Each structure stands twice: as structure tokens, then as C-alpha cells.
Chains A and B, each alone.
Chain A
Amino acid sequence: MLEIGLTHYLLLGAALFAIGLFGAIGKKHVISILLSIELMLNAVNINLLAFSKFLPLSNGAGEIFSIFVIVIAAAEVAIGLAIAIALYRSKGSLDLDKFNLLRW
């Protein structure tokens, strides 16, 4: 088989990101979208680590970044879920098609 290089990891990240993107666009449920976002974040983490490991000048920064990404993802999930619960409480649904609060 082929030698596994940077490109492989990056392609994996891209694929995972694309799946997350599809989820974020194509799903209805708010929590489902949150899950898709988690997928995209993981794809990003894969990329960061891959760069960190394969690029000579990275100096390991990718790992630190990944840690921060994870931290932020955790925070994001916490807030996102809280919002989902609040939404459900006020609207009785988590169907994103029904919301257009961003419309002015």
C-alpha cells in the first residue's frame, strides 16, 4: 500500500468536514446540527495535528491549538445545548425550519 502521508490525513479531514457541512445544512434538528458542528471541529483537529506532525516548522503548535479547539468546542456544546433547551421551552420545538429569528 501507499505510504501514509500528510495528504491522506488532510483528505480525511476534508471528508469529515464535508460530512459535517452536509449535516449542518441538511438536517432539521437543532441538536443534530450541533453534532454536525462537532464533526467539523474534529475534522479541523485532525488537520491541525497532521500539520503539526508533518510540517517541519510547526514546532508542535498544532497540538496546543487542538487543545484550545477542544476547550472551545466543549464550551460551545454547553451553550448550544442550553440554547436548544431554552428554545424548546419557549417554542415547543427544535425544528430549525420553523425559526427565522435572524430575519429583521
Chain B
Amino acid sequence: MIDYFWLIPMPVLFTMILTLLFGKKLGLKSAYLGMLGTIASFCMSLSVLPDVIAGTVKQVEFTWFLNFKFGFMLDPLTITLLLLVSFLATFILLYANGYMHGEGGLMRFFAEVQLFTFSMLGVVIADNILQAFIFWEIMGLCSYLLIGFWFHKPSAAAAAKKAFLTTRVGDVFMLIGILILYTQTGSLQYHEIFAAAANMDPFWITAATLGLFGGVIGKSAQFPLHVWLPDAMEGPTPVSALIHAATMVKAGIYLMARFMPLLVLAPISQNFMVIIGLITALGTALMALTATDFKRVLAFSTLSQLGFMVVALGTLNMAGAILHLINHAFFKALLFLGAGCVIHVTGTNNIWEMGGVWKKDKVTAITVLIATISIAGIPPLSGFWSKDEILIGAAHANPIFCGILLLASFLTAFYMFRLYYVVFAGKPRTEKHGHACGKTMLIPLVVLSFFAAFSGLFSKPIARFITGETMAHGSNTVMMISIVVALLGFLLATVIYGWQKISAAKIANTFKGICTLLINRYYIDAAYNWFCNHIVVGLAKVADFFDKHVIDGIIHIVRDVTLLVSKAAKWVDIYIVDGIIRGICSGFVFGGSEIRKTSTGQLQQYLLLIAAAVTVMIALVWGGLL
């Protein structure tokens, strides 16, 4: 089996094609078909796991065209993500079976979800950056199609466009990174690049890693390209879960982890990543405070958590990043699926229209609670362990980093519990009614909650498996502070939203300016909109004007001048060239009409003239003149 590990993503592709062919007939059952593929992939991954644990690193290469190769590799990082993605995709598909009940376009939906999963697997298993980029872009396409699934909604169409374009900007940077790598090392294979890295000019290493990180900023939605992710909530909830937990945003983290050997050599890039990560972690956590849409709060929390992971990568703490990636995948998938259930039950997205869901749907409430505790970083649930790992890494690099992350961590605990209290506690705030969730929706919740709770306990073996080195023993101080901070956040949320001792509205009033700023997401979206609508489209309009009036104007001037010249030539032709001809002609006509007068019709006159002429001729002959 290990020799055919590169077949791991193929079942998903196969079922996707089957879905395309038979999806119309199968309808919701396409989900099971898809699950067949993801389960197959999962099992195949599982079957090669022992070999990988035993230390096998496999690589297979084929020629794509000319000297470009496509190839697959299997190492601990890859297998971890393969397992994670196929596992999560299986349950998301199962969930979608229930969630998408009664929707149209199911064939399209399930095919796209499977393609999405397939491309994520493709990114992970690729052994060269070009192939990763290819699947990376296909993921962009899938996100576009899935976010815009309800394309008849203008907001969905706009969000889809925004997602693709924003990530495309990042992709361009990534492509630049690829170009630098290819130009400098002459190869696109990871192992060749890493082998050549030692001889590379540090400037180019920095440039290449920054370029690749540009791609990560786009795909993993880091500041300043984070704007697409909150809007991506326009897609169906399973899609959100897929994007946030299993695919897309995680691809960026994976890529940087993959390029760790190169990143090690580029301190400037590391610093840059840390700064971006910190800005994202803190900035988006603040935005989550004022969000009112359930899924948006989760989106902001994803952004914030991704910021954590990027900081971890920037501090060369690969174990922390990957662990957090795994844990986050579980609890965020759980949160989204839970959110889907809540939305199903309450029939609204707005948290202020929810409330009292605890009583309506116990299963959802409990599982979401587990996820909330986990993300807040309260031990012993999973989030705590990985977050702690990241904080320790950051503290090693610079205590200030750690401080900022702790602040973000505090905010995380606060807004997550705020969300929980508002949605699940108290009484329903509106009369809207949804419908209960079916079994296919609840089973994934239960399974995922199990992993969200306990996956953190396996941090050490997983970290050793991935990085190959034993995790350094953490600092107790940092651990203690992080627990305290998380509990403080929980406490504050309980005070404000649980016991309602302090009025949230009052606080909002006090910090009105800040609140407006946060609600408007720091006006970054507005600035981008302004930039696109006025600068880019303006430039386009200017270019259009330039094209129509200047370039074409020159053509028209050339045309007019040519026409003018030809008119002048025509005048010259008529009055001068032709004039001469006609002058000659009229001279002949005039002369002829004069000479004609001698032609009297008198025979004898003619005869006389003939005689005279003959005489003259004779005379001339004898005169020697002829």
C-alpha cells in the first residue's frame, strides 16, 4: 500500500466525477457517495500511517511535461493533514446531508465540496510547489463556487467574487515566490529547493518566503487580506466548516510549515510573519466583540486563531502551529456545524434574535459548549494545549509577542462565552421558529466534540511525530498566566452576559468611537471597496478614455490627415493635372473649329490646294529640302 500512497486523494476525485454524472438522480444521497470517497481516502491514509510512524518518507515523481514534474510525497506532516482533512470532510458531508435538505443544485454542491476536499488533499500530498499552487488555485475556484452557491443572492455573489479576488492577490505573491525559487534553484521540487537553499542569496530566500507568505496571507486570511473570510459566511454552513476547519485557510499554514527549512534562513520573513500574525490575532479578536451574526463571530475567531498559528510559524514553532491547526480544525468544525444547527433551529443568523437554545436543543448546546471551552483555552480541553505551546514559543522569541497573544486569548475567551451566553442562555428573543436537526446533523457534532475535547491530550506524541523532536518542557509561568487570562475572559463574559451585572450597552456607549470602528471592521473593507471602485475602476476608465480618445484619436488624426491630403490631391488632380490635359484638349478643339472653317465643301478649292501642295513638294524636292 505504501507504494501507492499517491492514490490517496483519488477516491475523492472518483466520487466527485460520479457525483457529476449521477448527482441529479442521487440528490441528497450524493453525500453518502462523497463520504465513500473520503472514507476510502481516510482508510488509505490510515493504512500507511504505521509505515510513516516507522520513519518511512516516500516520494513518487512523474513527468508532467518537458522538465516539469508532478509528484507526491508522504511524510509525517502530510499524513497528519491527509487524515485530518479526509476525516473532517467525511463528517461535514454527513452533516450536509441533513443540512442541505430541500435545497436545489445538490449535484453542484456535493461535487464542489468533493473537489474542494480533493484539492486540499492535492495541496498536502504534492511534492513540489507548482503542484501545490495548482491545487491551491483550484481551492480558490471551489471557494468561489461554494461561497456563491446561492448565487441568486447578490450578497453571495459579491462575497464569492471578493473571496476569489482577495486570495488571487495573495496568489500573485505566491506565484512571485515560486518564480524566485525556480529562477534561483532551477527546480520546483521541495527537496531540491531545500537542498539548494543553503547556497542561495539570503535576499532571495527572504523574497521567496515573503512571496509565499503573501499567498498564505491571501488563503489563510491574514491582515490585510483577511476581508474575504467574514463575507464568505454567505455560503452554506457546511462550506464554512470546510473552509475554516479542513481546507483553504489551513492550506496556508500547511504551506508555511512545509517551507520551514527555508523560513529558518530568513529572519526578516519570520519577523514579518510574527507582526502580521499578531495584528491579525488581536485585531480580529476585537472585531469579534461587536459582531452580531453567529457565523461572523466564528469567522473572526478563525481569523484570530489563524493569527496565532502564523505567529507560531514566525517564531519557528512548527509543532505549535500544527497542533493548533489540528485542534482548531476540530473545535471550529464543531462550532460551525453547531452554528448550522442553531440557525436551523432558530431560523435566524443574528445572535440577538436567538437565545434559550439550550432548552430547545441539548445536544447542540453541550457540544458547542465543549468547543467554546476548548477555543477559550481552558484546560484540559484541546485548545489550551496548543495555545499554550504557541504562547511559550512566542515568549521565547519576545515576551511582548506573548503579551499581545495573551490579550487576544483573553478576548477570545470573552467573546466566545459572550456568544454562548447570548445564544444558549436566557429566553428566545423572537418568535422565529426553525426546525429540529436530524440525526445526520447531530452525529457529526457528537463525534467532533469528542475530538475537540481530547485531541489536546495527544499533543506531545503528535508534535514529536511531526517535528521529529521531543517537545521542550513548557514554562509553568506562561501556562499559569494563560489559564488565568482565559478564566478572566470567561468571568467577564459571565458577569456581563451571564449575570448581566454590567450593561453591555453602557460599555458600548462609553467606547462609542471604538465600537463604530470595530463594527465597520476598521473601515478596511470600505477602504478596499473605495480603492477598487474608485482607483482601479477609475484607472480602467482613464485607460478606456485614453484608448478611445488618445490612441484612437491619433489613429483618427492620421486618418483625417490622410483624407485631407487626398482631398488636396484630388483638387490638384482636377484643377492642375487634369486642367493641363483639358487645356490641351480645348486647344485642339478650338484649333479644329477654326481650321474647320477652311473646309468649305468646295471641291475645286480642295483641288487647288492639292495642286499647290504638290507643287510645293516638287519645289521642296528640288530645293533639296525633302
A-to-B contact residues, CB < 8 Å: 21, 24-26, 33, 96-97, 99-104
Nearest chain A CB to B599 CB, angstrom units: 6
Of all A-B residue pairs in the complex, the 9 with the closest CB atoms, nearest first, are A103-B601, A100-B601, A102-B601, A25-B608, A25-B604, A25-B607, A24-B607, A21-B611, A100-B600
Interface flag for B602 (CB, 8 Å): yes
Closest residue of chain A to B604 (Cβ to Cβ) is: A25
Distance, CA A97 to CA B600, complexed state (A): 11
Interface flag for B66 (CB, 8 Å): no
Closest residue of chain A to B612 (Cβ to Cβ) is: A25
Contacts of B608 in A (CB 8 A): 25
Nearest chain A CB to B474 CB, angstrom units: 130
A24 touches B601 (CB 8 A): no
Interface flag for B595 (CB, 8 Å): no
Interface flag for B603 (CB, 8 Å): yes
B607 touches A97 (CB 8 A): no
Across the interface, A96 reaches (CB within 8 A) one of B599, B600, B604, B611, namely: B604
Nearest chain B CB to A102 CB, angstrom units: 4
Given A25-B604, A102-B603, A102-B606, list of 13 further CB < 8 A pairs? A24-B604, A24-B607, A26-B604, A96-B604, A97-B602, A99-B602, A99-B603, A100-B600, A100-B602, A102-B601, A103-B600, A103-B601, A104-B601
- 9 chain-A/chain-B pairs, Cβ below 8 angstroms: A21-B607, A21-B611, A25-B604, A25-B608, A25-B611, A96-B604, A99-B601, A102-B601, A102-B606
B-side interface residues, number (CB < 8 Å): 10
Contacts of A104 in B (CB 8 A): 599, 601
Nearest chain A CB to B329 CB, angstrom units: 114
Distance, CA A68 to CA B602, complexed state (A): 30
Nearest chain A CB to B577 CB, angstrom units: 33
Contacts of A25 in B (CB 8 A): 604, 607-608, 611
Contacts of B611 in A (CB 8 A): 21, 25
Nearest chain B CB to A48 CB, angstrom units: 19
B251-305 at interface with A (beta carbon < 8 Å): none
Closest residue of chain B to A24 (Cβ to Cβ) is: B607
Closest residue of chain A to B596 (Cβ to Cβ) is: A104
Contacts of A102 in B (CB 8 A): 599, 601-603, 606
Contacts of B602 in A (CB 8 A): 96-97, 99-100, 102
Closest residue of chain A to B609 (Cβ to Cβ) is: A25
A101 touches B601 (CB 8 A): yes
Contacts of B604 in A (CB 8 A): 24-26, 33, 96
Closest residue of chain B to A21 (Cβ to Cβ) is: B611
Distance, CA A103 to CA B600, complexed state (A): 6
Contacts of B599 in A (CB 8 A): 102-104
Contacts of A99 in B (CB 8 A): 601-603
Render B382-421 as a binary contact track against A, CB cut-off 8 A, 1 for contact.
0000000000000000000000000000000000000000
Nearest chain B CB to A104 CB, angstrom units: 7
Nearest chain A CB to B604 CB, angstrom units: 5
Interface hub of A24, A25, A26, A103 (most chain B Cβ within 10 A): A25
Distance, CA A33 to CA B608, complexed state (A): 13
Distance, CA A33 to CA B604, complexed state (A): 10
Contacts of A21 in B (CB 8 A): 607, 611
Nearest chain B CB to A86 CB, angstrom units: 16
B571-603 at interface with A (beta carbon < 8 Å): 599-603
Distance, CA A26 to CA B599, complexed state (A): 18
Contacts of B600 in A (CB 8 A): 100, 103
Distance, CA A88 to CA B599, complexed state (A): 24
Interface hub of B599, B603, B608, B611 (most chain A Cβ within 10 A): B603
Contacts of A103 in B (CB 8 A): 599-601
Closest residue of chain B to A30 (Cβ to Cβ) is: B603
Distance, CA A101 to CA B600, complexed state (A): 9
Distance, CA A100 to CA B606, complexed state (A): 11
Nearest chain B CB to A56 CB, angstrom units: 25
Contacts of A96 in B (CB 8 A): 602-604
Closest residue of chain B to A104 (Cβ to Cβ) is: B599
Contacts of B606 in A (CB 8 A): 102
Distance, CA A101 to CA B603, complexed state (A): 9
Distance, CA A26 to CA B604, complexed state (A): 8
Closest residue of chain A to B602 (Cβ to Cβ) is: A100
Closest residue of chain A to B608 (Cβ to Cβ) is: A25
Nearest chain A CB to B612 CB, angstrom units: 10
Contacts of A24 in B (CB 8 A): 604, 607
Nearest chain B CB to A33 CB, angstrom units: 8
Closest residue of chain B to A18 (Cβ to Cβ) is: B611
Distance, CA A5 to CA B106, complexed state (A): 136
Nearest chain B CB to A39 CB, angstrom units: 14
Distance, CA A103 to CA B230, complexed state (A): 108
Distance, CA A35 to CA B498, complexed state (A): 155
Nearest chain A CB to B307 CB, angstrom units: 112
Nearest chain A CB to B591 CB, angstrom units: 16
Distance, CA A5 to CA B417, complexed state (A): 159
Distance, CA A101 to CA B607, complexed state (A): 15
Nearest chain B CB to A87 CB, angstrom units: 12
Nearest chain A CB to B549 CB, angstrom units: 67
Distance, CA A33 to CA B606, complexed state (A): 14
B151-206 at interface with A (beta carbon < 8 Å): none
